[in-house]
Structure formats: C-alpha cells, structure tokens
Amino acid sequence: MVGREFGNGVRKVIERTGLTQRRLAELLGWQEAKISDLLAGKGGCTETEVRELLAYCRAPVAEREHLLALFRESGKVWLQIPADGVPDQVRTLIEHEKEANEIICWSMILVPGLLQIHEYIEAVTAKAQTVSADNRAATVAARAARGKILEGSRKFTFYVHEQALWLPVGGLDVWRSQLVHLLQLSVRPYITIRIVPRSIGVHAGASGDFRLMRFPKYPSMVYVESLRCSLFFDDKETVDLYENVLKDLATVALDEAGSREVINSILEGLQ
C-alpha cells in the first residue's frame, strides 16, 4: 500500500516533465521496465537511483523527501500521525477512496462520514479534541468534500448500527435532516444502507468501525482510524479477517427495505 502511494507520487513527478517513461529511461540509462516496476510499487531500485530520478525530474525538495520517506517504508501496516491530527484529512485515505471501485463501511456510533450532511459534520467536528477552532472550517470543508465520490461509477455498502441513528448530533433539526438524507441516498442503485438492529446484542463488529476498499488493479485495503493516527492494512491475512466481520454483519443486518423502515420510524418519532 505504501508502495502504491509512492508509485502514484513518482508518476505525477514524471508526468509534469512531459517525458514518456521510455524517453526518461533512455536519459537515465535504465531499462524501461525498471521505471514501470518502480511506478507499480514493486521496487527494483536503490534509494540512490530514486534520488537520481527525482532530481532529474526536478521534483521540489519537500515532495522529494516525502517520496523518499515512502520508499523507505516497509511492513504490512502503515501508521500515520497527521500533522493536524485529523485522520479524515489524511491525503492517503482521500486518494485511495477516489481510486476504489467499491467501498464498504461499518459504523457503530455515528452516521458514516461519507453519508454525513454538512451540519452533522460541523457538529461532530466541533467536539473533536484534535481540531482547533482555527482549523475547524477547513476541516469541515475537507470532510464534506469527500462525499463527492458518491456517484454511480463505483459501489458503496454501509453497515450502520441502529444506535448511530438515535444519537441526536447537532440538535433536533440536524438530526432530522440527517435521517432524511439517509433515506434519499438509500434509493440510489449504487448505494446500499443496512442497519444492524440494537436487539441483536453483541456482534462481530463490536470491536470498532472500519472501512474496506476494493480496487480494480490492487489488493483490497482496510482503513481504521483513531484520534491521533490512521492504520492501513493490505496484507491478505488482515483483510480476510475484516472480510469475515463483514460477512457476519451481513447475516444480522436488516435488508435495505427493513433498514429504511427503521430510519423512517425514528424520523416519524421526531416530528
């Protein structure tokens, strides 16, 4: 997964030069396959060679150091501690959400971020210990913008615990508007919203929220966040574990029609 971000970053650097991969390889005295492997995150280069490529392409110093740091990363788990302390704004997450052709989310306490209305986001962000008052407006805007990926070129499935629907975030008007928004989204053919009822008690998803992203060309990835860090997993063993959690949630969650009935019943009680 780190190799993927590294490869995407180097590809952007090369594209800015206007050179083809073949021509750049000739100028560097490399085989073209070497650059192809580098962009695919497969390695095959030393750090010195990566520095040479980035310098030749005149990558800015900050961008160069960021890409070299990614190149040095290894292991199955990537821990990120964002400078602004807002996991939702991690650039890596945003990039991978855009690349995914299927996103499956599980949320226990709050409405999933991609489904939140602007006022709901404002209310949640206002209570976040990691977001300063000065950064609040920018953080809300960044989180709200992520919802733009909700379009028909990809598939979305949201498993939401019933208790998240009962949490009165932002007051009665915001609460009501958020539920109406969920109903409006739930009829889109590429969005599936399934509610896990409170009555089932403990369940496989009780260990916490996560999202699983599937890609056309890369292995699936799991994303988990906490207050100060974000974890990305793309090793098969871990991804399979979360896939099994989703299978268990699918067996206890209401179907789409039943889920809409639950949302409607809560909404009617708020009138």
Residues 256, 215: one domain?
yes
Final residue belonging to a domain, choices 74, 95, 118: 74
Residues 59, 173: one domain?
no
Number of domains into which the chain is organized: 2
Mutual orientation of helices 2-17 and 61-72 as an angle, nearest 10°?
A: 150
Specify the range with the lowest mean pLDDT, choosing from 74-78, 191-195, 220-224: 74-78
Residues 168, 46: one domain?
no
The span from the CA of 143 to the CA of 166, in Å, is 22
Specify the DSSP element, H or E, that contains 1: none
Domain containing 50 equals 2-74
- Are the CB atoms for 238 and 222 separated by under 8 Å? yes
Residues 147, 264: one domain?
yes
Residues 30, 135: one domain?
no
- Res 244 pLDDT > 90: yes
Final residue belonging to a domain, choices 58, 74, 90: 74
Residue 27's pLDDT band, with cuts at 50, 70 and 90, is confident
Return the sign of the alpha-carbon dihedral for residues 205, 226, 97, 232: negative
Residue 261's pLDDT band, with cuts at 50, 70 and 90, is very high
Decide: pTM greater than 0.75.
no
Final residue belonging to a domain, choices 74, 100, 120: 74
- CA neighbor of 34 nearest in space, from 16, 61, 17, 52: 52
CATH no. for residue 37? 1.10.260.40
pLDDT digits (tens, 9 = 90+) for 29-58: 888 888 887 777 666 678 788 888 888 898
Residues 49, 88: one domain?
no
Residue owning tokens 């997964």: 1
Helical spans, DSSP H, in the chain: 2-17, 21-28, 32-39, 47-56, 61-72, 91-99, 118-126, 136-145, 162-166, 172-186, 236-252, 256-269
